[in-house]
Chain A
Amino acid sequence: MTVVSSSGNGRNPKTCLDDLIAAVLDRFAEAVSAAPAGHGYAAGFQLGHPETLRSLCRFLFWDQGCSFGGIIAEEHPSHWQLYYPFLLPGNGWTAVSLRLPSDATTVPSISSEVHAADWHEREIEDLFGLVFEGHPRLGDFILHDQVWHEGIAPMRKSFSANQPHFERQPNLEWRPLLVVQDPGAFAMPVGPVYEGGVGESLHFLLETVGEDVVRSSPRLFYNYRAVEKIAEGKTINDALLLAERFAATSAFAHSLAFCQAVENIYSSRVSSRAQQLRVALCELERLRHHAAAIAAICESTALAVSASQAAIIEEHLLRASCVFAGHRYLFGLNIPGGLTRDFDTQACTELLNATNKACTDLLELEDRLRYSSSFLDRLEDVGAIDARDARDLNLVGPIGRASAQSNDLRRACPYSGYERYKFDVPCESEGDGYARLRVLFAECVQSAALIRQGVQSLDAGPVRIACDTSHAGASIGWVEAPRGAALHWVSIDGLGVIERYRAIAPSFNNWLGFHLAAENFAFQDFPIILATFGLSATECDR
């Protein structure tokens, strides 16, 4: 296992960013102009016309080694605004922004160069109606063709979200797009209501010729609730509820990203006590999430005792969260300006005891699992994604880190005071199920250490400052959620109401890579591959 330790790479971050800007301007002289920092971005590039978009994105992603954040699309009365955030590790976010006239209907697609943009473009096409030229497969993505028809574009301002939309012409003759064309190939359907027990709604088509499954294609968005649309027009506090609850198992992380975006708009600097507590709560959530993921992996391999032990650890962490913060899933804690409540020393000590015990138990469990050969047999070389594919599709989170993508926003772009903490970012290179399990265990240890650092020496001061929400603005907020890097974009108008809210969830990025892990496997490995990926459909669907 390699670790990326807390020392930096020795170069002055500012010059890296300057080098990047200089390189871009050098290469794309007339087409691109540098934009000043703002909206949470450390740098930006304004495109004169859309044709250079593809080559600029390729340059940033492949030549300069940036990682891709997503695509943010906004509809304004007079124009379209598109942002393509890229992250230069250690240097903050850089956005390529593109402005199109309001009657534009097409945008050049960058997904042939930056494959990670594939699903982002499909989403924007489905929700806004903007066609990405050169994308080979648009349509039938979020709004399923069997339920809706093409062309609804619900994210347009002209579409009213509040009433049910029953004028639909669903395609009753819909057939899935099958990739395997062997004679006699067929596709086993799994879902959306399927998992033996309790599971999210997902649909898979396992294409096979009878023995091994050659390819599996997931069909998501059964849980789509149009969070981004219904957030528009809500006050900040009401939208905060939505940001918290579209993916409740990483509620604190997403609400933190939202709050940081709002705090950035109004240039509020939260107190250091609030920052420390936020870090502790983030890591508590990460620890609990990873315990649940480990329990799911053990359960998928049917090693019952280890699954039970991991589930016990997770339940104890849920109870500790409830005792500490008043809610098992840490709802209702973040608010723009800080936290809604303070915590006394005794509560912090109890929390520390609980997390230390959980960490010890997890290490003991890992030790036992390491010597269970039947368990390892089912995980090793199963669902492997190699480093090149992981980089190609910009996988994030523990999954990416198991395939040698060591990007972690806490290190690459620190927020909430993470730069003051000492911690490692564990990284593996095999990319199979066992590598992901090892990464999960190692991150648990790091989270426990971070909690210890956080609560043992809390700074004095208020835990909340007033946040003046009087003017318009827009910003991104980012956080390393338990499943990976999450990016929220919040745009507020002059009345203090949300104008545009975009949540780019880590599961959305990682689900794109699922089909790489799920190729040429035996059917009985399918639940294990799903469990080691540990993705959330509801976080992806929003």
Chain B
Amino acid sequence: MSFWFWHGLRRGVQSTRYPFGPETAPGISPGRPVNTQFESAAKAGAAAGICPVGAIVANDRWALVDERTCVHCQRCRLELDVPIDWRPGYEWAELPPNRAHYSPLPRPFSKSLHIMVVDAGDCGACLHEVKQLNNPLYNMHRLGFFTTATPRMADLLLVVGPISENMREPLIKTYEAMPDNKRVMAVGSCAINGGVFGRSFMSAGGVGSVLPVDLEVPGNPPPPLAILHALLAATGRKPLGTPEFAEAVPISKPAGRGPSGL
């Protein structure tokens, strides 16, 4: 059995440098579409029309993207003659639209956060990305993040999935079983607004209709580094909304953004 130990040592340290430096390995994130200025309003209109969930809205020559709604179907970059701009990056966590500010968990939690993960109808991709956080390449334990099996010891409730009706009661019970000073994080576009499943008789259309949400991580699925960034933001170790390691300067936005695509 000592061979395992030796084999593990031989493999070396594989963990990413993030958050102490940018992660630049290829394939860590699919990126996401950003606001794009087209040559003509027609092209912007075509871009808006191709999105199946209405995440793109045309405003004159601009195609404005609502990141919360985007489901990463890639049609806006593969099926248009002039594709929309697609930027790499992974620091995507943001506040829900009805929240003005976010108070992170106090200092004792910042390097020791216990996370309760609940699958409420998830397709499997978001849950799988959360699972990847425990592998040696991301290794969230080195940052002090742990998953627990019981909500009694949890500080953060991480919900994936559009909240199927059969899971509504268990999710609420889980939330109520957590001791106070807790935060709720919705991971993935399904958890934010129902994703491709939307609202139906079996799907509540996002965590926001069931529980008060503190942080959202858009993406379908958000890559592990995005979830890691969100956890760091939840504990106040990283700011929200100002990506530290963006690849390029974003295009200047016009005054006033379009309505969200719901």
Contact = CB atoms under 8 A, between A and B. Distances in A.
Touch between A and B in complex, CB under 8 Å?
yes
Contacts of B1: 372, 374
B153 to A, nearest CB: 12
A20 B132 CA distance: 49
User: Chain A interface residue count: which class?
Assistant: 35 or more
Nearest to B130: A198
Most buried by A among B8, B120, B165: B165
B247 to A, nearest CB: 15
B93 interface: no
B203 A305 contact: no
A222 B220 contact: no
The residue among A159, A309, A332, A333 with the most chain B CB atoms within 10 A of its own CB is A332
Of A227, A303, A321, most B-chain CB atoms within 10 Å: A227
B36 interface: no
Nearest to B174: A193
Nearest to A333: B74
Contact of A322 (B30, B130, B197): B30
A522 interface: no
Given A197-B149, A241-B52, A340-B79, A332 B73 contact: yes
Contact of A201 (B75, B129, B132, B167): B167
A287 to B, nearest CB: 15
B123 interface: yes
B154 to A, nearest CB: 11
B182 to A, nearest CB: 15
A223 B121 contact: yes
Contacts of A200: 119, 122, 124, 127
Given A198-B130, A309-B11, A246 B123 contact: yes
A303 B4 CA distance: 9
B161 A223 contact: yes
How big is chain B's contact interface, by range?
Answer: 35 or more
Interface string A525-542: 000000000001011010
A222 B199 contact: no
B164 interface: yes
A248 B125 contact: yes
A319 B26 CA distance: 7
Interface in B119-172: 119-125, 127-132, 134-138, 147-149, 151, 161-162, 164-171
Contacts of B121: 201, 222-225, 538, 541
A536 B28 contact: no
A144 B166 CA distance: 7
| Residue in A201, A241, A246, A368 whose Cβ sees the most chain B Cβ within 10 Å | A201
Contacts of A381: none
Interface of A is mostly: loop
Contacts of A221: 166
Contact of B220 (A312, A326, A331): A331
Interface in B76-110: 77-79
Interface stretch (A59-67, A83-91, A160-168, A265-273): A160-168
Contact of B28 (A163, A227, A322): A322
B3 interface: yes
A321 B30 CA distance: 10
A536 to B, nearest CB: 6
B118 interface: yes
B164 A223 contact: yes
Nearest to A539: B124
Nearest to A166: B201
A327 B72 contact: yes
A340 B136 contact: no
18 contacts: A154-B201, A163-B199, A193-B118, A199-B119, A200-B119, A221-B166, A223-B164, A225-B203, A245-B195, A245-B196, A247-B123, A292-B128, A306-B4, A312-B14, A322-B30, A326-B30, A331-B220, A340-B74
Given A195-B149, A196-B147, A538-B119, 4 more contacts: A154-B202, A198-B130, A309-B11, A538-B121
Interface of B: 1, 3-5, 7-8, 11, 14, 25-30, 52, 71-75, 77-79, 116-125, 127-132, 134-138, 147-149, 151, 161-162, 164-171, 173-174, 195-204, 220-221, 223
